[in-house]
Amino acid sequence: MPQIKFLLDEKDLPTRWYNIQADLPQPLPPVIHPGTLQPIGPADLAPLFPMEIIKQEVSQERWIDIPEPVRDVYRQWRPTPLYRARRLEQALDTPARIYYKWEGVSPAGSHKPNTAVAQAYYNKQEGVRRLTTETGAGQWGSALAFACQAFDLECKVYMVRVSYDQKPYRRLMMECWGARVLPSPSTDTRAGRAVLAKDPSSPGSLGIAISEAVEEAVQREDTKYSLGSVLNHVLMHQTVIGLEARLQLEQAGERPDVLVGCIGGGSNFGGFAFPFLADKLAGRRKDLRVVAVEPQACPSLTKGAYVYDFGDTGQMTPLVKMYTLGHSFIPAPIHAGGLRYHGMAPLVCALYDQKVIEAVAVHQNPTFEAALTFARAEGFLPAPEAAHAIRTVIDEALRCKQSGERKVIAFNFCGHGHFDLSAYERYLGGKLEDYEYPTEKVKEALAGLPRVGG
């Protein structure tokens, strides 16, 4: 009988995060100030983030120590298990061996606390009293609410309107951990009021919610902003996932052929894949395939342009070079709320541009079909975001069935779907829509991009 769970001891919890910036073939393009069009410096970011986070954002050190109080909170649920999906393998009748790293065991139910806890800690250390943030699916907001509770900080969450309406229980979870939650666009900020003036029934987007949270942080001395994805330090904090998974796959005696993760802003994918990519970048694992999966309704890597753009709709953030659909693009209200972001982590974009990683886009209905295949075999009910990775894993495993290849496929199972049951209800009732790629809307949004250099 094959072993099912590969578990690590608490003493195996990583002591350092891996910073892939040290190993990139070329350094990342600079982040640009939208006013001066010059590279920004630490002072430009100081109203938003504590200094330690700003240092981490630009650090070229390969390893960064995880502070003991952060590891102490991590120990509440880490190391997380790695599973062999042998029942799924049987259901698919595939010769492939499938493994998943299960991040849904965290208090908030996803990978998001890995960075939330670190960010709350550094803010507390530097005397910050309150944090603002945005949330899509509610996973990030609940992770930050939990982390703020752990370090005694106030937390205010701007939750994308469509998710606020679809997921009342996520909001309640945040409130249980003491956070204040508003639907975004809201009337609390200038950015929110501007959107509402144009479209009072706006479904919101991550881009709009970011503008609101940033605006409030900039205006208040006691408040800073916390971002749940996209930025280099966030992806680095998530590397605890891949560092553990590497040890666990070694324990299983396996060498992965294909790694898969879904991408919203790129953090669970980066956190899982980067520690393995270190080998590929060093030339030791040239054959390793790493696949990022995004929704067809918001296909930033597969259909976006690699240019400088704002991280938010209200143009409050600096300009970053990324694959983007345009900061004014508002994705269709798919149930994977955490994947409705117009841009992508610059680190993921650079690796895609340099053809180190691949990307695919999948539709909503086949994604839920894959989620149910998985849930009926393995038991765990995936978050709609995680189901995107599962769709691609199943497709890879079925290709192995055709070819007879015994590939080792590993994916990051980044969260459970216990608060996404209304989406499952719609799928089971045949009511889920597949949204075609909105060519015209993206063209319009891309036409409004700032012009920076070449």
142 vs 202 by CB, closer to ligand PLP? 142
Q: Could you tell me the smallest distance in angstroms from the CB atom of residue 330 to ligand PLP?
A: 17
292 vs 394 by CB, closer to ligand PLP? 292
139 vs 184 by CB, closer to ligand PLP? 139
Q: Could you tell me the smallest distance in angstroms from the CB atom of residue 454 to ligand PLP?
A: 28
Q: Could you tell me the smallest distance in angstroms from the CB atom of residue 274 to ligand PLP?
A: 13
Output the 3-class SS for the chain.
CCCCEECCCHHHCCCEEECHHHHCCCCCCCCECCCCCCECCHHHHCCCCCHHHHHHHHCCCCEEECCHHHHHHHCCCCCCCEEECHHHHHHHCCCCEEEEEECCCCCCCECCHHHHHHHHHHHHHCCCCEEEEEECCCHHHHHHHHHHHHCCCEEEEEEEHHHHHHCHHHHHHHHHCCCEEEEECCCCCHHHHHHHHHCCCCCCCHHHHHHHHHHHHHHCCCEEECCCCCCHHHHHHCHHHHHHHHHHHHHCCCCCCEEEEECCCCHHHHHHHHHHHHHHHCCCCCCCEEEEEEECCCCHHHHCEEEEEECCCCCCCCEEEEEECCCCCCCCCCCCHHHCCCCCCHHHHHHHHCCCCEEEEECHHHHHHHHHHHHHHHCCCECHHHHHHHHHHHHHHHHHHHHCCCCEEEEEECEECCCCHHHHHHHHCCCCCCCCCCHHHHHHHHHCCCCCCC
211 vs 267 by CB, closer to ligand PLP? 267
Q: Could you tell me the smallest distance in angstroms from the CB atom of residue 1 to ligand PLP?
A: 31
Q: Nearest residue to ligand PLP, using CB?
A: 338
266 vs 318 by CB, closer to ligand PLP? 266
Q: Could you tell me the smallest distance in angstroms from the CB atom of residue 115 to ligand PLP?
A: 9
Q: Which residues bind ligand PLP (CB under 6 A)?
A: 110, 136-137, 139-140, 229, 262-269, 338-339, 383, 385-386, 414-415
94 vs 364 by CB, closer to ligand PLP? 364
